[in-house]
Structure 1
Amino acid sequence: MNIHPHKTRADPLVYHAVIYTVDQRFSKAGAMVVKDGHVVFTGVEDEARRLFECQDELDVGGRPVYPGFIDPHCHFLPYGLQLDQVDLTGADAMETCVQRLREQANGQPWILGHGWDHQKWSHPVLPHKRMLDAHFPNRPVLMMRIDRHCAVVNSAALQLAGISRDTVIEGGVVDVADGDTTGILLDAAIDRVLDAKPENTPGDHASALLRAQAQTHAVGLTSVGDALTHLDELLLVDELQREGKLKTNFYAMVVPDRESREYFKRKGPWTTDLLTATSFKYFTDGALGSGGAAMLEDYCDAPGQRGQLIHTTDALLKEAQLNLEGGFQMNTHAIGDAANRQVLDVYQQILKSTNKRRWRIEHAQVLHPDDLPRFAALSVIPSVQTTHATSDMGWVENKLGTGRLECAYAYKRLLDTCGLIANGSDFPVEDINPLLGFYAGVSRKDVNGWPADGFLAHDAISREEALRAMTCWAAYANFNDDRLGSLEAGKCADFVILEEDIMTVPELRIPSVKVHTTYVRGEKVYGK
């Protein structure tokens, strides 16, 4: 083809489209031109053809095009590994879980399952190791609760991990009743059992990462924020990206252990085209459903119990000071109102006032009303998961009472206070599909449209806000807003084409909208 001397050569031309650029004006375009993996033009088709010569043309057929979706808080490697484990989601009782384990465990030396939620069982009480012992007396079993902060294990697993009724584990809980372990473990106590399991090889991890990538691309995700990245995993991600195998943008919240601290003390925060390693991840409490979230007052369904803080304030202050001095972003898990207050107290002592450091609170799930304005005062980014509200709504009032719900799952008020929220899924805790988070944020309902008026509907967000929360605002929270999150000239050509427009379809239809194709740097990574 002869190139017109006054035209710029670029490929491809995307046209016959409804392109949501998600720029500052939330403008739409009918065409987009990509060159060398970056957007060079958005606007009307005639103008694109006048300015650019494109051999490769993509007729979208009138479908909507969006910036590649970003999940700013997920667990990428665990998700990939769990694809090989027994899926316990949707089980209605412990008996159902055991049946699935028996059917699917085969001859594995360790039996691993995930996704059970006793709050949704016909008898919503935590399980006991007795049933596991009866069916699996010799093989170790670990069943991870859906929140990943609680697990039930059998006696064989406890024995291998060296856990007894007298075992004390910093940052974790070994549950004991009637003088014996129940098999229920919280937080760091789970790690003790996992450490007793034969380690996965680098090859196992590489395969799991690539399996996870296939699933993310299939739902339109082009960027993930991994909420607990170990150093060996980070280096493996970098290797796979350099080899061209892992094409997903990867924002790592690094585990602040000694090995990682020493590594980053030498190297400092670093980024590549696809990888961002500039933050450390901390935990202050556990999860709400398993009673580990740290509350200012007792749980309504467990008098005398308030959950537990994992770290002292002094320990968090020490870490925060190291992050400030090293130029690292600090991302801290906080679910209960006591945990959120502790984090805000620490951030306030270090940050003092508004700033550009983009420190985050992951979840920000239950707040005391007095703490809500402190987010904006310290420029703290709320990194939330709107599907947590709709997953918890069936049981959370029984746990917290009506009063504390007034400032729980307060996504609209956090957005209005801070000017943005970043909305992720926490997968595999929730479903990987970002459209479910979009729908939950907008509707405050489950996929069947219940409750009709929405759960705490005063904190619903608009469709534009929901789209920004998983594109440009998520990119900002990940320090990727210079190249991701919108379809503007100079930014990466990461985009997703849907079969229907989530900005205009009837609300109840949003969860069933399908991905047509997904592109990363202008390359098709999913679709026909």
Structure 2
Amino acid sequence: MERVLLTGGRIFTLDAERPEAEALYVEKGRIVAAGDREEVELQHGRAGVRRIDLQGGFAVPGLVDSHLHLAMFGRKFLLIDFSRARSKEEMLRLLRERVAKTPPGKWILGSNWDENRFRERMIPTREELDEIAPRHPVLLTRVCHHVHLANSAAFRAAKVAEDAPDPPRGAYGRDASGKLNGLIYEEASRPFFDAQPRPAFAQLKEMIRQAARYALSLGLTGAHIDDLREVGSLSDTLRIYRELAAEGIPFRTHHLIYHPHLGEAEELGLWAGDGDEWVTVGGVKIFADGSLGGRTALLSRPYRDDPGRTGMAVHSREEMMELAAGARRLGYPVAVHAIGDLAAERVIRVLETLPAGKGRLPDRLIHASVLRRDLIERLKRLPVVLDVQPRFVAGDFPWVMDRLGPELSPCAYAFKTMLREGLVCAGGSDAPIEPMNPLLGIHAAVTRRPPGGEGPPEGYFPGERLTPREALTLFTKGSAFAAGEERERGTLSIGKWADVTVFDRNPLETDPEDLLKARVVLTLVNGRIGYEG
């Protein structure tokens, strides 16, 4: 049994009864004492206690990302990363370089292209991809992961013919003549992923190991994970994370179950909330719509910059009700991706029709990007957590205002309104869609603009700016509540797990731009060191 004493810095507990402490004492992974250094040392500073000097750092409750695709993030190390591309030509150059190094016939995959950041606001055509890669299947995923771009070899590998009809939950892009233009929307991408060789278990595990280590280096002590679409089975997913914990990767994970795998969960005898201090089972993940960037988020009115479109419903109203009813029958909460306001409205209707049971896990509305006032009023009457991604503010403004128009733009990422109205919000990154670094999310919530002074000095819709404490709470108390773990973590209170993140500067008082320069001094999980800076 390791006993640990933390001293030598300022400790912000986020516990109203004792907001700040000079020392923490930990036994069996839990906080036993928090208070004045002299008092805690006197009671617990005996032989056999491991002492950790915070080196003048600033400790907060361990940060937890409430929405993260860790396996997908690990896979990112194998893909072409287009996140820094600022033109179509630059995107094509990166593809050309990868083709030159890849044997013919092998798939070439890329991610994170965003035409809204391109100078010409144009993406490559299918013909341009064919010219560069005539003998390689190519699939390039947009930053939102709801839109993809493929060449002709990829269409052949996926067995999608020129005259293929759109699938029920997706679509193929076509030019004015009706010819496939290479764009693939939502579930229409499934044949392209199925045609690719699946990574072996050992490779998946190593990808996730690297991603978890990176997360610890950023001060994250845990995350709520959506990995099933990448790994392929629930049993393999849980096995990977349990093995990594046993092998000394102290990273907590709370796993959402993608709805097609609910039957497997039942066969394994798993129920919402099952698990141990490292790996737990969460709610059932369902998609209601797509993304604003791809114009597949479902809106209540036409897109201002494309009046012929209102988005795309991944499921019909009847299908959504049936999926939620299936989760309810097994006692699971639901966790529904809803970005557009009409998607959120449909989800709210489901939650009103099928009230949650008495389980300890709440339902969650994932993203909740565009919420009209009437929807917020309805949400106030439901036991639901809003799983929000503050970094979207920095990535989506100002172009998102052209998408939404003057009526819906004020409803986008309205975090202050959500909190003021008493809604519980948890903070995540949605990495690799956005960077994993939680400080970038905190910065975006506080400033409402990108780093480096871009955008208006007061931020976009500055009335929705959060205080540093409110932003920090999203990634601590909010994430704990979303996982039904508010009695176990979220604050540095006596009896809770000793999950601690230590920075070299004060996250509650440092200028937001300077906060992005902060260095992680220590990441402590269960009283175990996960990272030392």
Q: TM-score, normalised by structure 2?
A: 0.93
Identity value in percent: 27
Q: Structure 1 residue 83: deviation in Å?
A: 1.3
Helix, strand or coil: the match of 2:354?
helix
Aligned positions of 1:401-440 closer than 5 A: 401-440=405-444
Q: Which residue of 1 aligns with 2:469?
A: 464
Q: Which moved more, 1:152-161 or 1:363-372?
A: 363-372
Which of 84, 87, 90 is the matching residue for 1:90?
84
Instruction: State the superposition RMSD in angstroms.
Output: 1.9
Q: Which residue of 2 aligns with 1:130?
A: 127
Are the counterparts in 1 of residues 234 and 264 from structure 2 also a CA contact under 8 Å?
Answer: no
Helix, strand or coil: the match of 1:173?
strand
Q: Structure 1 residue 357: deviation in Å?
A: 4.9
Q: Which residue of 1 aligns with 2:251?
A: 248
Q: Which residue of 1 aligns with 2:377?
A: 373
Are the counterparts in 1 of residues 371 and 411 from structure 2 also a CA contact under 8 Å?
Answer: yes
Are the counterparts in 1 of residues 87 and 119 from structure 2 also a CA contact under 8 Å?
Answer: yes
Gaps of 5+ in 2: none
Q: Equivalents in 1 of 2:410, 2:528: separation in Å?
A: 45
Are the counterparts in 1 of residues 71 and 207 from structure 2 also a CA contact under 8 Å?
Answer: yes
Count of residues in Structure 1 that have an aligned counterpart in Structure 2: 519
Q: Which residue of 1 aligns with 2:58?
A: 64
Are the counterparts in 2 of residues 518 and 526 from structure 1 also a CA contact under 8 Å?
Answer: yes
Q: Structure 1 residue 402: deviation in Å?
A: 1.4
The amino acid across from 2:173 in the alignment is D
Are the counterparts in 2 of residues 271 and 278 from structure 1 also a CA contact under 8 Å?
Answer: no
Q: Equivalents in 2 of 1:411, 1:85: separation in Å?
A: 33
Q: Equivalents in 2 of 1:184, 1:415: separation in Å?
A: 38
Q: Which residue of 1 aligns with 2:168?
A: 170
Q: Equivalents in 1 of 2:358, 2:264: separation in Å?
A: 30
Q: Cα gap change, 1:25/1:339 in structure 2, threshold over 3 Å: closer, same or farther? A: farther
Q: Tell me whether 1:159 sits opposite 2:164 in the alignment.
A: no
Aligned positions of 1:291-310 closer than 5 A: 291-310=295-314
Aligned positions of 1:183-198 closer than 5 A: 183-198=182-197
Report Cα offsets for 1:308-347 as digits up to 9, x if no partner: 1111111111222222232212100000111011100111
Q: Which moved more, 1:120-129 or 1:312-321?
A: 120-129
Q: Equivalents in 2 of 1:403, 1:82: separation in Å?
A: 37
The amino acid across from 2:201 in the alignment is P
Aligned positions of 1:103-252 closer than 5 A: 103-105=97-99, 106-107=101-102, 109-165=106-162, 166-177=164-175, 178-229=177-228, 230-241=233-244, 243-252=246-255
The amino acid across from 1:377 in the alignment is R
Report Cα offsets for 1:259-304 as digits up to 9, x if no partner: 4324325513121221111311000111001111011111111111
Q: Tell me whether 1:395 sits opposite 2:399 in the alignment.
A: yes
Q: Which residue of 1 aligns with 2:265?
A: 263
Q: Which residue of 1 aligns with 2:35?
A: 43
Which of 6, 13, 37 is the matching residue for 2:5?
13
Report Cα offsets for 1:381-418 as digits up to 9, x if no partner: 11000111121112011111111112111111111223
Q: Structure 1 residue 482: deviation in Å?
A: 2.7
Q: Equivalents in 1 of 2:372, 2:14: separation in Å?
A: 33
Q: Structure 1 residue 152: deviation in Å?
A: 0.5
Are the counterparts in 1 of residues 340 and 369 from structure 2 also a CA contact under 8 Å?
Answer: yes
Q: Structure 1 residue 26: deviation in Å?
A: 6.5
Are the counterparts in 2 of residues 13 and 58 from structure 1 also a CA contact under 8 Å?
Answer: yes
Q: TM-score, normalised by structure 1?
A: 0.94
Q: Tell me whether 1:491 sits opposite 2:496 in the alignment.
A: yes
Q: Equivalents in 2 of 1:480, 1:244: separation in Å?
A: 24
The amino acid across from 1:203 in the alignment is A
Q: Cα gap change, 1:214/1:353 in structure 2, threshold over 3 Å: closer, same or farther? A: closer
Q: Equivalents in 2 of 1:312, 1:332: separation in Å?
A: 14
Are the counterparts in 2 of residues 231 and 260 from structure 1 also a CA contact under 8 Å?
Answer: no
Helix, strand or coil: the match of 1:70?
strand
Q: Equivalents in 2 of 1:419, 1:366: separation in Å?
A: 15
Gaps of 5+ in 1: 1-8
The amino acid across from 1:180 in the alignment is K
The amino acid across from 1:488 in the alignment is S
Are the counterparts in 2 of residues 226 and 251 from structure 1 also a CA contact under 8 Å?
Answer: yes
Which of 271, 278, 286 is the matching residue for 1:274?
278
Q: Equivalents in 2 of 1:153, 1:10: separation in Å?
A: 53
Q: Equivalents in 2 of 1:394, 1:227: separation in Å?
A: 28
Are the counterparts in 1 of residues 321 and 350 from structure 2 also a CA contact under 8 Å?
Answer: yes
Are the counterparts in 2 of residues 157 and 193 from structure 1 also a CA contact under 8 Å?
Answer: yes
Q: Equivalents in 1 of 2:450, 2:16: separation in Å?
A: 31
Aligned positions of 1:328-339 closer than 5 A: 328-339=332-343
The amino acid across from 1:50 in the alignment is L
The amino acid across from 1:234 in the alignment is T
Which of 478, 481, 484 is the matching residue for 1:479?
484
Aligned positions of 1:315-354 closer than 5 A: 315-351=319-355
Q: Which moved more, 1:196-205 or 1:479-488?
A: 479-488
The amino acid across from 2:150 in the alignment is V
